[in-house]
Amino acid sequence: MMFSEISDGLDSDLRIRVGRVAGYTVYEEFVHPWDSPQTESPMIGEGSKRCVFPLLLIHDSAWVRSLSDRLIGFPNSVHYRLLTLDEIIDVLSNKTPEATWVSE
């Protein structure tokens, strides 16, 4: 996540490593097919500093259920959702994500 490229943004960028990926999707913010009240993104902050939480763990995922017969090589795959300023990225991985701040 490239925060350093945002006007008045941070000096660092967030690197999230998810290990081997069984699958991923990228959607623009308002066209995500699985958006529903059950998968709404929790908000953090107050007032003008209010924003969505950037990394979510999706429980009881419709996406994982739809792919269950294709995930044989990825036991215990977990559905993670990354929220950027304009995109929703879903990732299936069997490793816990590791996040670090990096300065380039």
Domain count, the chain: 1
pLDDT by residue for the chain (104 residues), tens only, comes to 555 555 566 677 778 888 889 999 999 877 777 655 545 666 677 776 666 677 888 888 888 888 878 888 788 888 998 887 778 889 999 888 888 888 86
Q: How many CB atoms lie within 10 A of CB 103?
A: 8
pLDDT at residue 2, rounded to an integer: 56
Q: 90: closest CA among 79, 98, 99?
A: 79
pTM above 0.85, yes or no: no
Structural domain of residue 57, as residue ranges?
3-102
Location of structure tokens 């623009």: 28
pLDDT at residue 38, rounded to an integer: 46
Q: Which two tokens stand for residue 62?
A: 């419709």
